[in-house]
């Protein structure tokens, strides 16, 4: 007996569910329904065009492979949008009934600013002076200085530090202010969830009633047309009300190719500030600040050596310091330039590694070292036997890959970006204080680099 399209779809999803994070499956895959098979097309119905964008970018090829295998012939996944959803969405936006106070207030409990990242702890140099000054200005006078403020930089140069510093200073100076720090991906997920549950009025109330909106990884806004449409109206509402908007990305607005021109233009209305790799003087200051905070002693010539060799990334700079201090303490040797050169001969002049470092490779080697399966690192389990290796893997992913904290969290079972930041800080501090632990992590790093 031939299977119906829906039966084939459910069979396909049994495979797909095993290879993507649970929250992604629930949010994106589950709402889709099989409609029909026409020639070589397998047609599914999705709630809106934003789902189509996500399917094409993330899972379409895998689904086509599974369906083709079940039917014994090459199939193409095609889409139809649920009728009238866009009209319902527009109608929902026009609803003016008041939102319950409990809902409006509870959304601001998400604010999570790392106390480690303050303006006082941010080392200012020629490479970041404009971004730091602008960030401080909007934190002191939100909605008046630069609006929006758009900060962009490559991974590991201090964007996250400034974002948390802005949020904390605002809360200190304006305790009653409604401030929300959120990633672009979470904004998109909340929007989709609100559409599915018919709660778009609450969604709009949440974001348009803010006094300050801080969005990280805004480059991901370019992944879909509908989210850009919604964010366009959110932006206009906040801007017209004189509320502060701070955006963060890995490139300038004009370089985000998939972003609508009208959004590129709006993002440049205020101030666009970039952060470049730090110069030698700044790198030395960063190292000395780290040394002071951790109450350790490192000779001046060794500080100069490290700062002279690690040039592109602050995380790599601090990681080099941790490595040499841990090695010296573990072996009982003095910290000297010769010893530092020997320890870091594999990373000086370019901070490169001998073997391509991918998320999969990090997870594989960490799991192997702790006698776990890779799926354990991605699971919801929180036992120490799994949580601890997972934190190490997150630390290594942030240190050695170009992935954002959002992408790293997604690779570990859909965890929040704040969990990634917490894990990075925890492992870094533990390595400084526990030299046997540092040796264990460094052994894993060498395995990752060696290709074994």
Looking at the structure, tell me whether residues 284 and 379 fall in a common domain: no
Measured distance CA(98)–CA(396) in Å, rounded: 47
pLDDT at residue 133 above 90?
A: yes
pLDDT at residue 297 above 60?
A: yes
Measured distance CA(434)–CA(267) in Å, rounded: 45
Looking at the structure, tell me whether residues 72 and 145 fall in a common domain: no
Q: What is the mean pLDDT of residues 330-338?
A: 79
pLDDT at residue 105 above 60?
A: no
Task: Identify whether 92 is part of a domain.
Answer: no
Sheet holding 244-249, edge to edge: 179-183, 212-216, 244-249, 149-152, 271-274
Angle between helices 225-240 and 184-197 (to 10 degrees): 100
Looking at the structure, tell me whether residues 270 and 292 fall in a common domain: no
Looking at the structure, tell me whether residues 48 and 9 fall in a common domain: yes
> Is the pTM of the predicted complex or chain greater than 0.85?
no
Of 274, 298, 322, the residue that ends a domain is: 274
Instruction: Report pLDDT for 94.
Output: 46
Residue 160 · residue 256 · CB < 8 Å:
no
Of 257, 274, 291, the residue that ends a domain is: 274
To the nearest whole number, what is the mean pLDDT of the chain?
A: 82
Looking at the structure, tell me whether residues 285 and 325 fall in a common domain: yes
**Containing domain of residue 305, as a range?**
280-343
Looking at the structure, tell me whether residues 190 and 252 fall in a common domain: yes
Higher-confidence residue of 329 and 171: namely 171
Residue 58 · residue 220 · CB < 8 Å:
no
Q: What is the mean pLDDT of residues 331-337?
A: 79
Task: Identify whether 306 is part of a domain.
Answer: yes
The CATH code of the domain that includes 302 is 1.10.8.60
Tell me the three state secondary structure of residue 127: coil
> What are the residues whose beta carbons fall under 8 Å from the beta carbon of 59, sequence distance 6 or more?
16, 20, 28, 29
Task: Identify whether 22 is part of a domain.
Answer: yes
pLDDT at residue 81 above 90?
A: no
Of 223, 250, 274, the residue that ends a domain is: 274
What domain count does the chain have? 4
Q: Cis bond leading into 148, ω under 30°?
A: yes
Length in residues, the chain: 452
Task: Identify whether 100 is part of a domain.
Answer: no
pLDDT at residue 56 above 80?
A: yes
Categorize the per-residue pLDDT at 266 as very low, low, confident or very high, splitting at 50, 70 and 90. very high
Measured distance CA(185)–CA(191) in Å, rounded: 10
Looking at the structure, tell me whether residues 117 and 261 fall in a common domain: yes
Tokens read off for 367: 């799991």
Instruction: Report pLDDT for 452.
Output: 56
Categorize the per-residue pLDDT at 351 as very low, low, confident or very high, splitting at 50, 70 and 90. very low
Looking at the structure, tell me whether residues 128 and 53 fall in a common domain: no
Looking at the structure, tell me whether residues 260 and 339 fall in a common domain: no
Task: Identify whether 94 is part of a domain.
Answer: no
Q: What is the mean pLDDT of residues 42-70?
A: 85
Looking at the structure, tell me whether residues 169 and 206 fall in a common domain: yes
Looking at the structure, tell me whether residues 129 and 254 fall in a common domain: yes
Cα–chain center distance at 2: 44
The CATH code of the domain that includes 205 is 3.40.50.300
Q: What is the mean pLDDT of residues 199-223?
A: 88
Residue 221 · residue 124 · CB < 8 Å:
no
Residue 101, burial from CB neighbour count under 10 angstroms (0-12, 13-18, 19+): exposed
Instruction: Report pLDDT for 348.
Output: 47
The CATH code of the domain that includes 76 is 3.30.300.180
pLDDT at residue 96 above 50?
A: no
Task: Identify whether 353 is part of a domain.
Answer: no
Say if strands 149-152 and 271-274 run parallel, antiparallel, or are unpaired: parallel
Tell me the three state secondary structure of residue 42: strand
Task: Identify whether 148 is part of a domain.
Answer: yes
pLDDT digits (tens, 9 = 90+) for 424-448: 988 988 888 777 788 888 888 888 8
């Amino acid at each position: 007996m031939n299977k119906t399209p829906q039966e084939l779809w459910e069979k396909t999803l049994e495979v797909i569910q095993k290879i993507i994070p649970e929250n992604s499956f629930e949010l994106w895959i589950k709402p889709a329904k099989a409609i029909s098979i026409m020639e070589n097309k397998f047609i599914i119905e999705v709630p809106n065009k934003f789902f189509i964008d996500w399917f094409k970018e993330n899972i379409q090829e895998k689904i086509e492979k599974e369906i083709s295998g079940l039917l014994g012939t090459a199939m193409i996944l095609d889409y139809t949008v649920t009728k009238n959803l866009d009209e319902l969405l527009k109608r929902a936006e026009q609803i003016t009934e008041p939102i319950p106070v409990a809902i409006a207030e509870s959304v601001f409990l998400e604010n999570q600013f790392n106390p480690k990242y303050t303006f006082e702890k941010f080392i200012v140099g020629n490479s970041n002076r404009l971004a730091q000054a602008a960030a401080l200005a909007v934190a002191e006078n939100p909605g008046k200085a630069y609006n929006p403020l758009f900060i962009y930089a490559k991974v590991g140069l201090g964007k996250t530090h400034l974002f948390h510093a802005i949020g904390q200073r605002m809360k200190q100076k304006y305790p009653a202010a409604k401030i929300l720090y959120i990633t672009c991906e979470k904004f998109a997920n909340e929007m989709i969830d609100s559409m599915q549950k018919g709660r778009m009025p609450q969604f709009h109330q949440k974001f348009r009633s803010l006094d300050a909106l801080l969005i990280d990884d805004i480059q991901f806004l370019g992944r879909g047309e509908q989210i850009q449409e919604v964010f366009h109206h959110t932006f206009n509402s906040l801007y017209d009300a004189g509320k502060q908007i701070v955006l963060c990305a890995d490139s300038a607005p004009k370089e985000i190719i998939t972003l609508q021109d009208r959004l590129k233009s709006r993002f440049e209305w205020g101030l666009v500030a970039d952060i470049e790799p730090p110069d030698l003087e700044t790198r030395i200051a960063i190292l000395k600040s780290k040394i002071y905070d951790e109450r350790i002693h490192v000779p001046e010539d060794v500080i100069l050596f490290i700062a002279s060799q690690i040039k592109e990334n602050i995380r790599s700079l601090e990681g080099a310091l941790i490595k040499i201090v841990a090695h010296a303490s573990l072996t009982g040797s003095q910290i000297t330039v010769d010893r530092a050169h020997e320890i870091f001969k594999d990373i000086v002049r370019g901070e490169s590694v001998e073997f391509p470092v991918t998320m999969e490779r990090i997870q594989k080697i960490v799991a192997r070292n702790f006698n776990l399966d890779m799926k354990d690192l991605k699971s919801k389990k929180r036992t120490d036997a799994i949580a601890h290796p997972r934190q190490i893997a997150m630390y290594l992913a942030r240190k050695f890959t170009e992935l954002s904290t959002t992408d790293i969290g997604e690779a570990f079972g859909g965890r929040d970006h704040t969990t990634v930041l917490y894990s990075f800080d925890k492992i870094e501090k533990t390595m400084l204080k526990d030299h046997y632990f540092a040796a264990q992590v460094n052994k894993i790093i060498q395995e990752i680099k060696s290709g074994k």
